[in-house]
Amino acid sequence: MEHWQSGLFLWTGRASRAIKTVAPLWLAQLVLRFGLATPFYRSGMSKWDGFLQLNDVAVLLFSSEFQLHLPGGPYAYPAPALVAFAAASAETMLPVLLVLGLTTRFAALGLLAMTLVIQLTVPDGWPIHITWAAMALAIMASGPGTLSLDHWLCARARLAGMN
């Protein structure tokens, strides 16, 4: 190996370690959780008029505007009031779980499923939808990180099991 190559490898290793101190995994996981939760939570909150009371616009959108773009379609949503309620509920609850880091992987899976349905509803929105999907997959693959209730609960369970 040439001298310049070994110097390059040495420099790259040092730079990688420096970057890891500035961007630790737990911080990346936290930012991913907040980043994915934010648009869904905002969308979910815009659908409510009060506690368990959907606004008229949310039901109207699922009744007349939103359609599933499947082969042979587009198709109207079945039971639009029920679908609107389920979507608003999931868009409100799953992001809260994600931010808290509670059942994180399942919350990310739920938001990934919602992203796929949203993609079928708004096909031209794929550039943002693929970003949401990538974030959900990254959370599912790497977990919530150390700054999460999941991590704290697992640590407590391990300690309780040792006693």
- Under the banding of pLDDT at 50, 70 and 90, the label for residue 22 is confident
CB 39 within 8 A of CB 48: no
pLDDT tens digits, 37-68: 999 999 999 999 989 899 999 999 999 999 99
Question: pTM of the predicted model, to two decimals?
Answer: 0.85
